[in-house]
Chain A
Amino acid sequence: KQEVTQIPAALSVPEGENLVLNCSFTDSAIYNLQWFRQDPGKGLTSLLLIQSSQREQTSGRLNASLDKSSGRSTLYIAASQPGDSATYLCAAPISGGYNKLIFGAGTRLAVHP
């Protein structure tokens, strides 16, 4: 059964720091892994989707890596800004297809000026 764990649960940093958010999953037979951003009271916005054939994906200041053999993914945020403050969720597909997702509990990030 797929389980997804995210550490740390919360993070508070000063503006400008480089950050690493961690995600681990138990079933390594995944075909992709996704990172989402959730702002308070809002829905989820997809940030990065890494296919199993890829090792990493980049979008602006965000870089996500995927290591299936160790069951880990990391989201790297460069030069953090107050606007990055949000909850970051990773999600892995449940075996059996249909793009059904199992979510971690998220990392709540606060970037202060």
Chain B
Amino acid sequence: NAGVTQTPKFRILKIGQSMTLQCTQDMNHNYMYWYRQDPGMGLKLIYYSVGAGITDKGEVPNGYNVSRSTTEDFPLRLELAAPSQTSVYFCASSFGQGGETQYFGPGTRLLVL
């Protein structure tokens, strides 16, 4: 059981480039989440999904897109990278919405120059 895995671990992007952050979970969880964490701050919710084909915006969705075609995968897409998107991105999953704990991946560190 690998839990939640994220790739890549680190990436440098130039302004205006695009990339996809990958997230996969093998716990058969229905709910998946993307957060970003800026230095010295807590995590902020970008997007979440309650099942395959169902996604919705969180607190800070601008500049990002998501899709959920399978239960296991929840990729996060950055279309036109900006310096403000320099952050550490965490993917998380939970079984449902009944107050279960969320399980987090190791994070992707993104630097936009």
**CB within 8 Å of B: which residues of A?**
4, 31-32, 34, 36, 41-46, 49, 51, 89, 91, 93-94, 97-106
With both chains docked as a complex, state the minimum distance between the C-beta of A86 and any C-beta of chain B, in angstroms. 14
**Interface on B for A, CB 8 Å cutoff?**
4, 31, 33, 35, 40-45, 48, 50, 56, 58-59, 90, 92, 94, 96-107
The distance in angstroms between the C-alpha atoms of A34 and B97, with both chains bound, is: 14
A18 to chain B, nearest CB (A): 25
* A43→B107 CA distance, assembly (Å): 6
Measured between C-beta atoms, what is the minimum distance from B45 to chain A in Å?
6
Pull 24 A–B residue pairs with CB atoms less than 8 Å apart, ordered by A: A31-B99, A32-B99, A41-B107, A43-B104, A44-B43, A44-B90, A44-B92, A46-B101, A49-B100, A91-B42, A93-B99, A98-B50, A99-B94, A99-B96, A99-B99, A99-B102, A100-B33, A100-B48, A101-B33, A101-B43, A101-B45, A102-B45, A105-B40, A106-B42
- The residue on A at minimum CB distance from B4 is A43
Question: Given A42-B106, A43-B106, are A97 and B42 neighbors across the interface (CB < 8 Å)?
Answer: no
Pair A43/B90 contact, Cβ less than 8 Å: yes
- Judged by DSSP, the binding face of A is strand
List of B residues within 8 angstroms of A89 by Cβ: 42-43
Partner of A34, one of B40, B42, B58, B101: B101
Q: Which A residues touch B98, using CB under 8 A?
A: 99
> Known contacts A32-B99, A49-B99: does B58 contact A100 (CB below 8 Å)?
yes
Q: What are the 7 closest A-B residue pairs judged by CB atoms, nearest first?
A: A103-B42, A43-B104, A46-B101, A44-B104, A32-B99, A103-B43, A43-B106
**A46 and B103 contact, Cβ closer than 8 Å, known pairs A99-B94, A104-B42:** yes
